[in-house]
Chain A
C-alpha cells in the first residue's frame, strides 16, 4: 500500500494482514556528490514502486526518509532510531529500510529493522530496454529477499 488516502483506507480495514512497513532511505546532497546522491535516490524510488506493486497487500511503503548527506553519523543513526521506535510501537512485525547509501551498511548493527542495501546502477546511461530488464532483475532479487525474511519469521 502506498502512502495515499485510498490505500491507507484499505490498510485501516485490513490491519491484521499488514505486518510489514518499508522506509526508503534517500540521501540528499548538493555538494560534489550531488549526482551520486540523486542516482541513489532515483534508483531506490524506482525499486520501491515495483516492490509496492508486487506486495501491496502485505506492506506499507512509506514516503522516503530523506536526510542530508553531510550530517554526522550519530545524528543520522539517532534520527532513524526514532522512526524505528515509532514503527515497532505501531505493531509492525517487519520493518525494512531500502537504500543504496553504503553509509547505512556500516551502521547496520545499530538498527533493529532489516537493512536492504542495493548498489545503485548507472541507469541514466542505459537504453530503455536494457534498463527495464536490469531493473526487473533487481526487483526479482528484492522480492525473493522479502519472501525469505517472511518465511524465516513464520
Chain B
C-alpha cells in the first residue's frame, strides 16, 4: 500500500475536522469581535471638528476657541468640550495649540501670569511656554504644547486631533 493513500476513515476524519473547525470559527469569530471591537474601533482621528471661529477673525493674539466633539470611550459615547489657543503668527499662518500642559496635564492660560507677559502659563507648577508653544527651560514642562492640525471650511476653522509639535 502506498503511503499517501488516504483510507476512508482518514478521509472522513479530515473532512469532519475541517468542517467542524470551520463551524467553530464561524461561531467564535463574532464572539471575539464583539468582545474586542469597541476597543479596536478607530477613533475617527482624521476627522476635523468644526468650531465657531471664523478664520477671518483670527488675530495675532492667542484666543480661546472651544469646540464640542463626541468621544468614544470604549463602551459609550459622550460629548466633550475641547479647547484650543488660536492665533496667526508673523507669517500670517494659523497656529492652534492644545491647552494641556505637557508636565502633568493642567490647563494653561495665555498671559495670565503678570511676571511673564506674552507666555502661556500653567498655574499648577509654574510651567511656561512661549507664544509658539515652546516650553521655557527651567520650568517643569519637558516638551512644547501639542499642535492641532486644522483646515478651513466655509470660512470657519476646523480642528483635527492635537499632535506633538513637529521637530521637537
Closest to A7 in B: B105
Bound complex: CA A64 to CA B167 (Å): 43
**List of A residues within 8 angstroms of B123 by Cβ:** 55, 147, 150
B104→A53 contact, CB < 8 A: no
Bound complex: CA A150 to CA B123 (Å): 10
Interface string of A1-35 (1 = CB under 8 A from B): 00000000010001001000000000000000000
CB contact list, B121-151 vs A, under 8 A? 122-125, 140
**List of B residues within 8 angstroms of A56 by Cβ:** 104-106
Interface size in chain A (residues, C-beta < 8 A): 11
Interface residues on B, range: 10 to 19
Q: Is A81 an interface residue (CB 8 A)?
A: no
A58→B107 contact, CB < 8 A: no
**List of B residues within 8 angstroms of A147 by Cβ:** 123
Q: Which residues of B contact A (CB under 8 A)?
A: 101, 103-107, 122-125, 140
**6 extra interface residue pairs, beta carbon distance < 8 Å, beyond A17-B125, A53-B107, A58-B124:** A10-B104, A55-B107, A56-B105, A57-B101, A58-B106, A147-B123
Q: Which residues of A contact B (CB under 8 A)?
A: 10, 14, 17, 53-58, 147, 150
